[in-house]
Chains A and B, each alone.
Chain A
Amino acid sequence: MFAAAPEHLPKVYQVYYSSTVLWVTLVPLLTGVGLYFLKDSWENARKALALIISLFSLTGVTALLPMVLNGTVSFDLLDFMQLGLYFKVDLIGWIFAFLITLVWSLATIFSFTYMDLEHNRRRFYSVLIFTLGATLGVVLAGDFFTLFLFFELMTLSSFILVIHEQNLESMKAGILYLYLGIAGGLALLFAIMLLYSATGSVAIVPVLDQLTANRTLIYILFLVGFGIKAGLVPLHIWLPLAHPVAPSPASALLSGIMIKTGAYGILRVSLILFSSPTESGTKDLNYLFAMGNALMWIGIVTMLAGAVMALLQGNMKRILAYSSVSQIGYIATGIGAAMFMGVGGAMGFAGAVYHIINHAFFKAGLFMMVGTIYIYTHELELSRLGGMLKKMPLVAVTFLVAAFGIAGVPGFNGYPSKTLVHDALLVAIKYNDLISLEIAEKIFTLTSALTICYFIKLFRGVFLGPVPEKLDRDYQLTPSTIAVLSSFALIIVAIGLFPNLILERIIVPAAEMLKYEGYAMDHLYHFNFFEWHPLEAMIIVAALALIIYIPGAYRRWFDWKPPSWLSIYALIYQPVTHYLMAFTCRTGVIVDSSVDKAYDRSGSIARSWCSFIGDFDQGLDQFYLKWGVIGRKLADRSRDMDTKIDQFYEKSGATARKLADKSADMDSALDKAYLKTGQAARKLADKSADMDSALDKAYLKTGQAAQKLAKQSNDLDRALNVVYDQAGQKAREEMEKRLENRQVKDRSKEQSRWTTKNLSFDNLLLMLVLGVVLLIIFYFGRS
């Protein structure tokens, strides 16, 4: 088939490196912060600066176009926040960036008039410009991490836009928006982490082949993360609350632009991340079909639910907010169709992108038109408005143009994109003969009819009928408002009249980048919007709309208020949050009360321990007393023993003396007997006599020494006795003191029960944990 169209052969894409990408994002971020510090009275300087910055971004983004048409523009800041900040702009990103800056500039101009009536303008402009930078960052990001950073930044700063009024209603809506935004951000972070750990990179490139087990989880998490921002059913609940309460320029941006970042994320994930660089096998095709089908059905449900809810609202901005939900459904349907058609999904892709562009213009325009009416009337309820056609004809005309756009009237911009999405469904039916697709196509037609219905309701309510008395005065629009509203109308008509211009110049090259081929791609090159087939579908829709609206309006079907229990909030979110909170609180309380019980019980245990210790003390006291008595007895006995030893020594001294006498007698006898034996013997005898006397002396001395010893030991005994007495006394005193102490302690325990109670519980707990840890370790350590 390529041979038939040789001029569309794939071209070589170049990679440009330009810091423009960074500045376009950074300048609004920094100026946004700076604007906050401008004096309150410098009203005009603030307005001028805000306008200049948004125009600066617009110029910067426009300047990227030539490069983007031939390839991609990238810029990176290594090491900034861990993974580095990486910008990469391709044509898809550029389309979003251009859309963002263009609508933002118009909204900034519009806010000049609108905000003059509001309070806290300094904060508004500062956050407005800051959010521009953050939102641009989301679509210019080259990898998911950078995208995530800016996505979070955008959530936080747009939160301040939502709660600008600071009344109860807006705070409630804002906090719901913030919590869901943070939850979405965390889902996104989880998905990015899973992606990073599976592939080792966070780049936005086809990785389907590398993902294995948890790719469905990744896809669901991405879908939740981006779906919350985009407002897919059932994650849309914050949207109809938050968009209406914001100031109108902010609502215009929230509905027209910021929910598109969610759609952008879904587009990137579905059509780029979940595709493979090479021709993939059949298994993956089946997988893509399943995921794409799921996404498409989410889109179908979203568009129908949004349209029905919009039809039942009575508040202008709520109708528009639900309409945004419904339109996001169209976009999701287009992306889903493109995803499950694989390489043949060009039609769905083109439809989704085209509808994103168109929806940005007509929805932002509509919010500003409604905002203009609000500026002058301070009314948002349809029942209290009417007849504005005469009072503000310009607003009525531009409103009609935008409404034609959103309804898909040929000649206005909604028509080509809706036709493309519709054709994508038809192509899908052609290739896959599924009954579900047929049903989807029917729902699509029904939703388009409902869209016409709620816009007839809105237009009739605001512009037709009698003018309420309260509002019957002359209104003078400011030039800036006129300029903004008419430029929206002009853009809508221009795209509507020349639908092929944008399709061929921008969307088809973007589709080429994604390597689409086949029948749908060929068809896209020469798509003719003004032939019978798409017009016929449109006429059917219009006829259906009239069939629904005329009896509906006659019988007041559209004033029916669905019971509050039927809302998704009451059906899903309230029970979930309620039970979740109840569960966490209850576990908290249970743990707490069991801790209390443990305190009580351990307190009583501690008290019994204390009394046990008291008994132990008394036992000790008696023990000391007994030991005193025993000690004294012991001392008595040792004194007896000493006297006995003394006597023994004396006796031995006497016997020694007797012995000496006897030996002297024996000597004299010997002397007589051995007189004749000679001189030598006598000398010997003399010597032995000397020795005897020495011995004698020695005996005497020992006797004295023994006496002295006995006396000393006697003294020691006495001293010991005294010491024992004193020790006994002291122990008794100690005991008395302790008893007193215990009484004091008991008293202080009555005053402050915490000491023993807390203590023992904590220690018990510690022991318990120690026991458990020991048990685990030993259980596993056995082997």
Chain B
Amino acid sequence: MVLADQLPVLIVITPLIGAFLAPLIYRRHEKASGYLVLLSLLLSVVMAVFLLIKVRRDGPYFYQMGNWPPPWGIEYVADPLRVFMLLVVVAISLWIFLFAIEDLQHELRRTVIGWYYALYLLLVASMAAITMTNDLFNLFVFMEICAITSCAIITVKEDRECLEAGFKYLILSAMGTGCFLLGVALLYMVTGQLNFGFLQQELTAAVINYPLNVFTAAALFIVAFGTKAALFPLHVWLPDAHASAPSPSSAMLSGLVIKIYAFSLFVIFYRVFPRSLLDSLPLSEIVLWLAAFGVMFGSVYAMLQTDLKKMLAYSSIGQIAFIFMGIGLDQRLALVGGLYHIAVHAITKAMLFMAAGAIIYATGVRRISDMNGIGRVMPLVLVAFTVGSASMIGIPGTGGLISKWYLALGALEIGRSLFVLVILLSSLLNAIYYMPIVINAFMSQDDFACQVKEVPKVLQSALVIGMIFVVITGIFSRPLTLLLEEAVTVFF
């Protein structure tokens, strides 16, 4: 089928078209514009599902833009890993938008909502492209789009805190992209290639002839993606940005945007760098140790927070480090764990931010200590929060356990039990800061003091969907992990 071959580019283009139409339509028909966004996201999801089926059936394939073969043209890859990530991106974007369509009415001025729709779709399109692209420069272009749009969906709220956080994010993000571009240039200098496949072939020789360039590029990449994905010492922008943004933006940023960069680093490690480079340089080791520190410090910082969204944001720093740990351990099972955690944490953290958003919407309470007894007045929201917390801690029946299980097995397989200890300790720390919220929300003797508004049905249903997702990833994890296990086998 001809159309089926065009799927990779169609998935990127659909939201792009939506992004141009949405603000136009919004001027006349506000509702219709929202439905248009939903429709374009839904179309992307459907196409991504088809793509997954196709890739599972026919094997991976390359899509060449405008039929220009690789050294000249841009190439997109559809292999199980990329399509897995793509599906995570579009499906979760669709789900978060369900939440956003209602929540934005209360968080933003009416006039900017149309622009928000456009930004949202642009962000989705850029992320979808990043997952599939097989070209370094194309990656750079979409990273820029992604960075600018994600900054814009923070500052769209127009209060002082958001502007400050957004500005900080923009600058650091630009620094990150700068590092990346410099790295790309250095590699291009010695290989003359931008396509991943060609680059990998050329690099084997280039490492020997021009070690300086390649080493510097590797360092630049680690720092670039570390900054953008908030790897431990480079995380300074994240808590403010994620905590002050409107709730759907927080969910999007914490749930998907930081993962995209972690995924890109993974792709660069295994698709661009030849195996010999990974074996001879301590690249994985650097990422691993940074991740281990991130896991611990993210949890410790989160423990010290008093603001609910700030706590969730700090928790993201710890959780993103799990994904980096999967990359850093450089072992098949650990990699599966890290990649699985992308999906798990995307769902869980997005749901937690939505729950926090619903709490703030209904009561205006942000302080954790003010939330005693809140579970009795808004049970559904807090049950969702409980399920999310359980997944963060890694209680059986939720996805968090599965990814930790794989990560720990991977670490044990190469004899590094220390990192298993780190993983388990952070689970305990997570329990220490998530559990009291849940317990006090339901079991506290005090009654909840503030006035409570009714939570709209749409928000509630989004939370229910989230809970179902979390439990599915926890209980019926086997098909997905099998897919991932199969997919990562090629790297080892």
Query: Which positions in A face B, CB cutoff 8 Å?
Result: 79-82, 148-149, 152-153, 156, 163, 166-168, 171, 174-175, 178-179, 182-183, 186-187, 189-190, 193-194, 196-197, 214, 584-585, 587-588, 591, 595, 752, 754-755, 758-759, 761-763, 765-766, 768-770, 773-774, 776-778, 780-781
List residues 240-285 of chain B with CB under 8 A from any CB of chain A. 280-283
Contacts of A781 in B (CB 8 A): 211, 215, 280-281
Q: Are B233 and A82 in contact (CB under 8 A)?
A: no
Please indicate which of the listed interface residues A179, A754, A773, A780 has the most CB atoms of chain B within 10 Å of its own CB. Answer: A773
Q: Is B431 an interface residue (CB 8 A)?
A: yes
Given A197-B409, A763-B175, A770-B219, also A81-B477 (CB < 8 A)? yes
Which of B443, B445, B476 is within 8 Å of A79, CB to CB?
Answer: B476
Q: Is B377 an interface residue (CB 8 A)?
A: no
Besides A588-B301, A759-B171, A770-B223, 20 new A-B residue pairs in contact (Cβ under 8 A), listed by A number? A79-B476, A82-B481, A149-B396, A175-B436, A187-B424, A193-B405, A194-B412, A196-B409, A197-B412, A584-B303, A587-B300, A758-B168, A762-B172, A763-B171, A766-B234, A768-B233, A774-B216, A776-B286, A777-B215, A781-B281
Give the CA-CA distance A152 to B396 in the complex, in Å. 7
List residues 210-232 of chain B with CB under 8 A from any CB of chain A. 211, 215-216, 218-220, 222-223, 226-227
Give the CA-CA distance A153 to B428 in the complex, in Å. 16
Q: Are B219 and A777 in contact (CB under 8 A)?
A: yes
Q: Are B417 and A194 in contact (CB under 8 A)?
A: yes
Contacts of B280 in A (CB 8 A): 780-781
Question: How many Å from the CB of B175 to the closest CB on chain A?
Answer: 6
Q: Are B215 and A778 in contact (CB under 8 A)?
A: yes
Q: Count of A-B contacts with CB under 8 A?
A: 146
- 11 pairs from A and B in contact (CB 8 Å cutoff): A79-B476, A163-B439, A166-B444, A171-B439, A179-B432, A189-B408, A190-B408, A762-B175, A769-B234, A777-B282, A780-B280
Q: Is B475 an interface residue (CB 8 A)?
A: yes
Given A82-B402, A781-B211, also A585-B304 (CB < 8 A)? yes
Q: Name A168's closest neighbour in chain B (CB-CB).
A: B445
Question: How many Å from the CB of B414 to the closest CB on chain A?
Answer: 10
Question: How many Å from the CB of A56 to the closest CB on chain B?
Answer: 23
Give the CA-CA distance A80 to B218 in the complex, in Å. 41
Given A183-B428, A190-B424, A762-B237, also A770-B474 (CB < 8 A)? no
Give the CA-CA distance A179 to B478 in the complex, in Å. 30
Contacts of B405 in A (CB 8 A): 82, 189, 193
Q: Are B439 and A769 in contact (CB under 8 A)?
A: no
Contacts of B175 in A (CB 8 A): 762-763, 766
Q: Is B71 an interface residue (CB 8 A)?
A: no
List residues 326-357 of chain B with CB under 8 A from any CB of chain A. none
Contacts of B218 in A (CB 8 A): 777
Q: Are B223 and A80 in contact (CB under 8 A)?
A: no
Which of B281, B300, B395, B401 is within 8 Å of A777, CB to CB?
Answer: B281
Q: Name A149's closest neighbour in chain B (CB-CB).
A: B396
Contacts of B301 in A (CB 8 A): 588
Q: Are B443 and A588 in contact (CB under 8 A)?
A: no
Q: Is B393 an interface residue (CB 8 A)?
A: yes
Contacts of B39 in A (CB 8 A): none
Q: Mark B412-447, 1 if CB is under 8 A from A, else 0.
A: 110001001100100110011001100100011100
Q: Is B297 an interface residue (CB 8 A)?
A: yes
Contacts of A763 in B (CB 8 A): 171-172, 175
Contacts of B325 in A (CB 8 A): none
Which of B168, B219, B432 is within 8 Å of A773, CB to CB?
Answer: B219
Q: Mark B155-178, 1 if CB is under 8 A from A, else 0.
A: 000000000100110011001100
Q: Are B234 and A588 in contact (CB under 8 A)?
A: no
Interface secondary structure of B, over-half rule: helix
Give the CA-CA distance A774 to B183 in the complex, in Å. 12
List residues 369-405 of chain B with CB under 8 A from any CB of chain A. 393, 395-397, 401-402, 405
Contacts of A153 in B (CB 8 A): 396-397
Q: Is B179 an interface residue (CB 8 A)?
A: yes
Q: Is B141 an interface residue (CB 8 A)?
A: no
Contacts of B233 in A (CB 8 A): 765, 768-769
Q: Are A163 and B420 in contact (CB under 8 A)?
A: no
Given A763-B171, A778-B215, also A591-B297 (CB < 8 A)? yes
Q: Are A156 and B395 in contact (CB under 8 A)?
A: yes
Q: Are A190 and B420 in contact (CB under 8 A)?
A: yes
Q: Is B236 an interface residue (CB 8 A)?
A: yes
Give the CA-CA distance A163 to B427 in the complex, in Å. 23
Give the CA-CA distance A768 to B233 in the complex, in Å. 10
Question: How many Å from the CB of A198 to the closest CB on chain B?
Answer: 8
Question: How many Å from the CB of A753 to the closest CB on chain B?
Answer: 11
Q: Are A171 and B168 in contact (CB under 8 A)?
A: no
Q: Are B478 and A79 in contact (CB under 8 A)?
A: yes
Q: Name B222's closest neighbour in chain A (CB-CB).
A: A773
Q: Which 6 pairs show the lowest CB-CB distances between chains A and B?
A: A197-B412, A79-B478, A149-B396, A774-B219, A770-B223, A773-B219
Give the CA-CA distance A762 to B172 in the complex, in Å. 7
Contacts of A759 in B (CB 8 A): 168, 171
Q: Are B439 and A186 in contact (CB under 8 A)?
A: no
Contacts of A768 in B (CB 8 A): 233
Q: Name A758's closest neighbour in chain B (CB-CB).
A: B168
Given A584-B303, A774-B219, also A178-B435 (CB < 8 A)? yes
Question: How many Å from the CB of B480 to the closest CB on chain A?
Answer: 10
Q: Are B215 and A81 in contact (CB under 8 A)?
A: no
Q: Are B431 and A776 in contact (CB under 8 A)?
A: no
Give the CA-CA distance A730 to B225 in the complex, in Å. 43
Which of B223, B281, B300, B428 is within 8 Å of A182, CB to CB?
Answer: B428
Please indicate which of the listed interface residues A591, A758, A761 has the most CB atoms of chain B within 10 Å of its own CB. Answer: A758
Q: Name A759's closest neighbour in chain B (CB-CB).
A: B171
Given A765-B233, A766-B175, also A754-B164 (CB < 8 A)? yes
Give the CA-CA distance A780 to B286 in the complex, in Å. 11
Give the CA-CA distance A694 to B99 in the complex, in Å. 94
Q: Mark B300-325, 1 if CB is under 8 A from A, else 0.
A: 11011000000000000000000000
Q: Name B179's closest neighbour in chain A (CB-CB).
A: A770
Q: Name B440's closest neighbour in chain A (CB-CB).
A: A171
Q: Name A167's closest neighbour in chain B (CB-CB).
A: B445
Q: Are A193 and B409 in contact (CB under 8 A)?
A: yes
Give the CA-CA distance A777 to B475 in the complex, in Å. 41
Give the CA-CA distance A148 to B479 in the complex, in Å. 22
Give the CA-CA distance A765 to B402 in the complex, in Å. 34
Give the CA-CA distance A774 to B297 in the complex, in Å. 23
Question: How many Å from the CB of A432 to the closest CB on chain B?
Answer: 34
Q: Are B474 and A773 in contact (CB under 8 A)?
A: no
Question: How many Å from the CB of B417 to the closest CB on chain A?
Answer: 7
Q: Name A589's closest neighbour in chain B (CB-CB).
A: B304
Q: Are A773 and B286 in contact (CB under 8 A)?
A: yes
Q: Are A80 and B475 in contact (CB under 8 A)?
A: yes
Give the CA-CA distance A585 to B218 in the complex, in Å. 35
Give the CA-CA distance A765 to B230 in the complex, in Å. 13
Contacts of A156 in B (CB 8 A): 395
Give the CA-CA distance A79 to B216 in the complex, in Å. 45
Give the CA-CA distance A754 to B405 in the complex, in Å. 42
Q: Are B304 and A81 in contact (CB under 8 A)?
A: no
Q: Are B427 and A186 in contact (CB under 8 A)?
A: yes
Give the CA-CA distance A596 to B200 in the complex, in Å. 43
Given A166-B443, A766-B172, also A179-B282 (CB < 8 A)? no
Q: Are A82 and B409 in contact (CB under 8 A)?
A: no
Q: Name A152's closest neighbour in chain B (CB-CB).
A: B396
Contacts of B211 in A (CB 8 A): 781
Given A769-B223, A781-B215, also A755-B167 (CB < 8 A)? yes
Contacts of A774 in B (CB 8 A): 215-216, 219
Give the CA-CA distance A752 to B179 in the complex, in Å. 28
Q: Are B397 and A149 in contact (CB under 8 A)?
A: yes
Which of A81, A584, A754, A778 is within 8 Å of B474, CB to CB?
Answer: A81
Q: Are A197 and B396 in contact (CB under 8 A)?
A: no
Q: Are B424 and A186 in contact (CB under 8 A)?
A: yes
Given A196-B409, A591-B297, A765-B233, also A190-B421 (CB < 8 A)? yes
Question: How many Å from the CB of B486 to the closest CB on chain A?
Answer: 15
Give the CA-CA distance A152 to B474 in the complex, in Å. 14
